[in-house]
């Protein structure tokens, strides 16, 4: 059996497959593949009366558009290669969903659960200061966001550090995205990646040919879904699939074990149990200690939403799901991807499916630059237009519009959350259509992953071929 490529090798091999389809020159292939720059820092923070030295990275991949954009990950396993792989994926991801950013990623080698909130605040501020001093955080050139192990709180600490160091920068709030609402964040960013996964699957199921090719039929209703990882991305994806499309979440896998119930788990009840007890144990008799084996059970859709390299040459042959929906970054190695393809599985690839986060980050960044909340200018006009329409309807039908009907009409008002969801849905739907068109129109493109890479890389290559004056 062929050994698995590392995460970085996998991303590069997937990219090269697309570069060959596009017949890019060797030089341009090399230029796009590699990170433009990687900055490694070591910095001390005083903890328990002594200094503890931390190690972190920020990688900037393709700078064909600025700022470069990508999350900052806190995990004990983070290393430079992983950050470079994630930065490359960000370039391709932004290109797939037409978000006008280059790609970047950052990481800090740390187990956040080992530190108090106060310590994490000081560690984050120190890391941010190192990056800000070298312009690796900057609203015009390099804008982080949350990723594994980080969330709105870490982003607020980074934004505050930037603001203190750059008090005259009018766009300081745009230096990171995924901030809390009262720090310049945007409604709908926390749920965005999971919601994007949801819209991506809804769009996939609106194409009967694609559904049939995956060996399935019908809609998402009652489809049996296994989800690995129940953090930010996994929870929201599972929640919307269950609550809005009636899918059955039959297994939830976390690092401390898993739950398996063929009748479908109540996603919000599981989440409440985790918040109360810290884990899955004790939720019900459906608890299974060996979570990883549940990835191999029979189901319609498997959603890896935890880490990279979860489906490898070791277990790919045993995956029974028809569709593997990559909510995580790099959950399938290059070699495992070939095995899944040979077995007739459909993989909906990470660079498309989890792009909801960066899409809404783009909305947040634009809102920070414009200094105005979305919908603020036209909300009253919309309200009056709606009131006038209702009055007209009542006059014409000689019937009163009741409160329930009025509420239904109000659901589509342009408040910030509705606007964000609308922009995200539009992005995920139109990007999927573009990818499937590439797949269907090019006989040398075997699957959705290669199609997404071809679609993304062609746009980046076009910039370098046509517009870059320094090349
Ligand atoms: P998170 O830290 O909120 O959650 C991670 C989840 O994975 C947790 O439930 C954890 O228990 C679980 N997990 C960790 N190791 C595991 C293991 N070995 N087996 C099973 N479960 C395990 O992280 P997140 O933000 O939800 O990110 C998840 C994935 O999605 C990552 O690959 C990340 O890069 C990707 N992603 C995140 C975003 C975002 O906006 N947060 C955007 C795009 C992609």
Q: Is the pLDDT of residue 160 over 80?
A: yes
Closest residue by Cα to residue 421 from 429, 433, 431, 432: 429
The pLDDT assigned to 1 comes to 65
Give the integer Cα–Cα distance in Å for 1 and 269. 42
Q: Residue 29: pLDDT band by 50, 70, 90 thresholds? A: very high
Residue 8 has pLDDT above 70, yes or no: yes
Tokens of 112: 């956040």
The token duo for 437 is 């068109």
- 349 and 209 co-located in one domain: yes
The predicted pLDDT at position 406 comes to 83
Going by alpha carbons, the residue nearest to atom 2 of ligand 1 is 148
Spatial contact of 186 and 231, defined as CB atoms under 8 Å apart: no
Please check whether residue 83 lies inside any domain of the structure. Answer: yes
| Number of domains forming the structure of the chain | 2
pLDDT digits (tens, 9 = 90+) for 249-305: 999 999 989 999 999 999 999 999 999 999 999 998 788 888 889 999 999 999 999
Among 125, 148, 182, which residue terminates a domain?
Answer: 182
- In this prediction, residue 378 carries a pLDDT of 87
Nearest CA to ligand 1 atom 18: 255
List all residues 6 or more positions away from 391 whose beta carbon is below 8 Å from its beta carbon: none
Check whether residue 368 and residue 277 sit in a common domain: yes
Give the residue, out of 107, 179, 199, 307, with the most ligand 1 atoms within 8 A of its beta carbon, to mutate for a pocket test.
307
Pick the residue whose CA is nearest to atom 27 on ligand 1.
148
Residue ID of nearest Cα to ligand 1 atom 37: 147
Average pLDDT score over the chain: 96
The stretch 191-218 carries a mean pLDDT of 98
Ligand 1 mean position, distance from CA 254 (Å): 10
Q: Is residue 392 situated within a structural domain?
A: no
Which atom, in ligand 1's list, is nearest to the CA of 192?
40
Q: Which domain CATH number covers 123?
A: 3.40.50.10860
Same domain for 71 and 29?
Answer: no
**137 and 239 in one domain?**
no
Say if 396 falls within a structural domain: no
CATH of the domain at 264: 3.40.50.720
User: Both 222 and 303 in a single domain?
Assistant: yes
10 Å Cβ neighbour count for 296? 17
Is the CA virtual torsion 440, 444, 446, 452 positive or negative? negative
What atom of ligand 1 comes closest to residue 147's alpha carbon?
41
Distance 412 CA to ligand 1 centre (A): 31
| pLDDT of 413 above 80 | no
Task: Return phi, psi of residue 301, to 5°.
Answer: -135, 130
d(CA 167, CA 372): 20
- DSSP-assigned beta bridge partners for residue 102: 68
Q: 33 an active-site residue?
A: no
Residue of 105, 179, 254, 345 marked catalytic: 105
* Boundary (domain end) residue, out of 117, 149, 182: 182
In this structure, is residue 428 part of a structural domain?
yes
For the CA of 234, the closest atom of ligand 1 is: 26
Distance 231 CA to ligand 1 centre (A): 6
Q: Whose CA is nearest to atom 33 of ligand 1?
A: 328
Write the residue with the smallest CA distance to atom 28 of ligand 1: 306
CA of 82 relative to ligand 1 center, distance in Å:
14
Counting residues of the chain whose pLDDT is more than 90, the rounded percentage is 89
Q: Are residues 218 and 97 in the same domain?
A: no
CA angle, 113 then 115 then 120, to 5°? 110
* Residue 17 in domain: yes
Q: Assess if residue 325 is contained within a domain.
A: yes
> Which residues sit with their C-beta closer than 6 Å to ligand 1?
146-149, 193, 228-234, 253-255, 291, 305-307, 327-329, 354, 357
Q: Range with the lowest mean pLDDT among 119-128, 339-348, 363-372, 393-402?
A: 393-402
Structural domain boundaries enclosing 152: 37-182
pLDDT tens digits, 323-368: 999 999 999 999 999 999 999 999 999 999 999 999 999 999 999 9
Does the pTM exceed 0.75?
yes
Task: Reply yes or no on whether the pLDDT at 471 is more than 70.
Answer: no
Q: What percent of the chain has pLDDT over 70?
A: 99
For residues 158 and 190, membership in a common domain is answered with no
Distance CA 65, CA 79 (A): 25
The reply to whether 106 falls in a domain is yes
- Let me know if residue 404 belongs to a domain: no
Question: Do residues 71 and 152 both lie within one domain?
Answer: yes
**For residue 147, how far is its CA from the centre of ligand 1 (angstroms)?**
8
pLDDT at 150 over 70: yes
Say if residue 135's pLDDT is above 70: yes
Do residue 1 and residue 140 come from a single domain?
Answer: no
Both 315 and 462 in a single domain?
yes
Cis geometry, peptide bond prior to residue 67 (ω within 30 degrees of 0): yes
Pocket test for ligand 1, best of 86, 99, 147 (most atoms within 8 A of CB): 147
Q: How far is the CA of 292 from the centre of ligand 1 (A)?
A: 15
83 and 154 together in one domain: yes
Last residue of a domain, which of 164, 182, 200? 182
Tokens matching residue 104? 């970047």
**What is the tens place of the pLDDT at every residue in 233-245?**
999 999 999 999 9
Do 421 and 298 have their domain in common? yes
């Amino acid at each position: 059996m062929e050994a698995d490529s590392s995460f970085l090798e996998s991303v590069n091999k997937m990219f090269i497959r697309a570069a060959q389809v596009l017949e890019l020159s060797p030089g341009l292939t090399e230029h796009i593949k590699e990170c433009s720059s990687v900055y490694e820092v070591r910095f001390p923070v005083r903890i328990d009366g002594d200094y503890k030295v931390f190690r972190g990275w920020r990688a900037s991949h393709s700078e064909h558009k600025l700022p470069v954009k990508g999350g900052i990950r806190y995990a004990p396993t983070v290393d430079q290669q992983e950050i470079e792989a994630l930065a490359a994926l960000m370039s391709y991801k932004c290109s797939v969903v037409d978000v006008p950013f280059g790609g970047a990623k950052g990481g800090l080698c740390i187990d956040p659960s080992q530190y108090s909130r106060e310590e994490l605040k000081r560690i984050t501020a120190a890391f941010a200061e190192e990056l800000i001093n070298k312009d690796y955080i900057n609203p015009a050139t390099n804008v982080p966001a949350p990723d594994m192990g980080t969330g709105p709180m870490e982003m607020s600490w980074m934004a505050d550090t930037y603001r203190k160091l750059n008090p005259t920068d009018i766009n300081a709030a745009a230096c990171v995205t995924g901030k809390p609402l009262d720090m310049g964040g945007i409604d709908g960013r926390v749920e965005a990646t999971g919601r994007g996964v949801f819209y991506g699957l809804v769009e996939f199921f609106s194409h009967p040919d694609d559904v049939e090719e995956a060996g399935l039929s019908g809609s998402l209703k009652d489809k049996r879904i296994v989800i690995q990882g129940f953090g930010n991305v996994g929870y929201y994806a599972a929640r919307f699939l269950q609550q809005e499309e009636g899918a059955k979440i039959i297994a939830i896998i976390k690092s401390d074990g898993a739950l398996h119930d063929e009748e479908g788990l109540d996603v919000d009840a599981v989440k409440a149990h985790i918040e109360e007890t810290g884990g899955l144990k004790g939720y019900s008799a459906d608890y299974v200690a060996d979570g990883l084996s549940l990835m191999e059970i029979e189901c319609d859709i498997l959603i890896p939403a935890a880490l990279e390299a979860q489906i490898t040459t070791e277990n790919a042959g045993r995956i029974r799901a028809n569709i593997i929906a990559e909510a995580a970054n790099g959950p399938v190695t290059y070699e495992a991807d070939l095995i899944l393809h040979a077995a007739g599985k459909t993989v909906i690839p990470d660079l498309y499916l989890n792009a909801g986060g960066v899409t809404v980050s783009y909305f947040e960044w634009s809102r920070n630059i414009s200094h105005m909340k979305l919908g603020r200018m036209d909300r009253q006009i919309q309200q009056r237009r709606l009131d006038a329409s209702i009055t007209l309807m009542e006059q014409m039908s000689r019937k009163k519009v009741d409160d329930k009907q009025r509420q239904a009409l109000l659901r589509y008002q342009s408040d910030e959350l509705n606007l964000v969801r609308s922009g995200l849905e539009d992005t995920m739907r139109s990007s999927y259509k573009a990818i499937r068109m590439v797949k269907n129109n090019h006989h040398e493109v075997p699957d959705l992953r290669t199609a997404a890479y071809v679609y993304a890389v062609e746009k980046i290559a076009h910039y370098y071929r046509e517009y870059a004056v320094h090349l």
